[in-house]
């Protein structure tokens, strides 16, 4: 399984998210605390800098190298500050058939479309499900799919549910598109008789807003004829946490935000807490959809529950 994070708020150096904290995202690629698998299939990033030349266009980085040994990423993260970040370390099952290629590195962001998205989880029997999902994606969006992952097709479904994928979603448009995509997947799984547990934790951002989903289809249902092959995602809901505050950084020798939600100017969402002190982190409930924007220097956050 993968690890991912979202950040929205006051500009921060990328290495304060990726490298420096106790459980920074790059550290989670080889030493996750809430997962028993390493994530060794690549790293990807979108980072928006509102003070940059074109603030609507993010910094883009992607590589199939192990992020802990990626010196280009390390150098970049020390120099770049961003007010919005979507980053992802990819994990795949240990298999000779796994495709570790640049086209499969998250986040996905199709040309001319502001929304980027990453995924933690997998859809059972995806080769059977893929044609059914593709039928719900207009050709103008489907033609941009380059990789072989279920994740990219989930992203295409989300884009297909937006009134206009070429502009930033407004109001509840992003939340509704995410909910619609999950409903389509559920309906097509039912039609095909697919009822194996399938985790779908989603991370989406367009530089001005973020959304995160903690979701699993048919949780706990898996084939029992070979218990050794049961994936841990079938035994536990994949984790997803968030924290609000201000002045994210090193304070008194500990990485954390200061203040509380009432004083917050930033929000950080991650597969697992990045900091040693987890007292300020809140676990997103199962089947929860979190959305957040920042206006007037203050984050506005909402959680809705999904079917």
136 belongs to a structural domain: no
Task: Count up the domains in the chain and report the number.
Answer: 1
Give the domain range for residue 212. Answer: 3-123+199-305
- Identify which has the larger pLDDT, 37 or 125: 125
In the predicted structure, residue 241 carries a pLDDT above the cut 60 = yes
| Residue 135 domain-assigned (yes or no) | no
Confidence of residue 221 (pLDDT cuts 50, 70, 90): confident
Q: What region, left, alpha or beta, does residue 272 occupy, with left being phi > 0 and alpha being psi -120 to 50 degrees?
A: beta
Provide the whole-model pTM: 0.94
Average pLDDT, rounded, for the chain? 90
pLDDT beyond 90 at 183: yes
DSSP 59-110: EEEEESS-GGG-HHHHHHHHH-EEEEEEEEE----S-TT----GGGPSPB--
Give tens-digit pLDDT for 3-23. 999 999 999 999 999 999 989
- Cβ within 8 Å of residue 75, ≥6 positions away: none
Which has more pLDDT, 36 or 263? 263
Average pLDDT on 156-180 reads 98
Which DSSP symbol is given to 279? T
Is 261 a member of any domain?
yes
Structural domain includes residue 159: no
Q: Distance (Å, rounded) from C-alpha 144 to C-alpha 34? A: 34
* Domain at 82, CATH number: 3.60.20.10
Which pair of tokens denotes residue 135? 């039928």
Considering the domain boundaries, does residue 225 fall inside one?
yes
pLDDT, tens digit (0-9, with 9 covering 90-100), for 184-193: 999 999 999 9
pLDDT, tens digit (0-9, with 9 covering 90-100), for 107-166: 999 999 999 999 999 999 999 999 999 999 999 999 999 999 999 999 999 999 999 999
Least confident of 31-35, 92-96, 208-212, 219-223: 92-96
Residue 184 domain-assigned (yes or no): no
- Using pLDDT thresholds of 50, 70 and 90, give the confidence band for residue 232: low
Tell me: cis bond preceding 107? Omega within 30 of 0 counts: yes
Give residue 49's pLDDT. Answer: 93
CA distance 6 to 85: 5
Residue 139 placed within a domain: no
Q: In this predicted model, which residue has the larger pLDDT, 187 or 220?
A: 187
> What's the mean pLDDT in 197-222?
94
Collect all residues with Cβ–Cβ distance below 8 Å to 60 and sequence separation of at least 6: 45, 46, 109
């Amino acid at each position: 399984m993968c690890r991912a994070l979202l950040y929205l708020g006051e500009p921060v150096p990328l290495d304060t998210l990726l490298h420096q904290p106790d459980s920074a995202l790059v550290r989670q690629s080889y030493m996750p605390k809430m997962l028993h698998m390493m994530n060794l299939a690549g790293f990807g990033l979108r980072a928006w800098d509102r003070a940059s030349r074109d603030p609507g266009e993010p910094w883009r980085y992607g590589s199939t190298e192990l992020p802990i040994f990626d010196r280009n990423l390390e150098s970049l993260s020390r120099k770049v500050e961003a007010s919005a970040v979507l980053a992802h370390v990819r994990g795949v099952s240990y298999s000779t058939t796994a495709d570790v290629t640049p086209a499969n590195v998250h986040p996905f962001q199709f040309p001319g479309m502001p929304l980027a998205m990453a995924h933690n989880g997998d859809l059972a029997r995806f080769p059977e499900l893929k044609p059914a999902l593709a039928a719900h994606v207009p050709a103008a969006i489907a033609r941009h799919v380059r990789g072989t992952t279920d994740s990219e097709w989930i992203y295409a479904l989300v884009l297909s549910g937006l009134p206009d994928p070429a502009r930033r979603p407004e109001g509840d448009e992003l939340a509704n598109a995410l909910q619609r995509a999950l409903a389509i997947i559920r309906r097509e799984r039912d039609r095909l008789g697919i009822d194996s547990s399938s985790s779908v934790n989603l991370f989406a951002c367009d530089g001005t807003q973020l959304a995160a989903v903690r979701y699993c289809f048919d949780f706990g249902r898996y084939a029992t004829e070979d218990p050794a092959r049961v994936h841990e995602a079938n035994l536990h809901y994949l984790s997803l946490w968030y924290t609000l505050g201000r002045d994210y950084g090193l304070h008194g020798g500990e990485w954390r935000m200061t203040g509380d939600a009432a004083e917050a100017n930033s929000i950080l969402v991650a597969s697992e807490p990045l900091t040693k002190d987890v007292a300020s982190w809140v676990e997103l409930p199962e089947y929860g959809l979190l959305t957040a924007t920042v206006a007037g220097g203050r984050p506005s956050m909402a959680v809705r529950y999904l079917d």
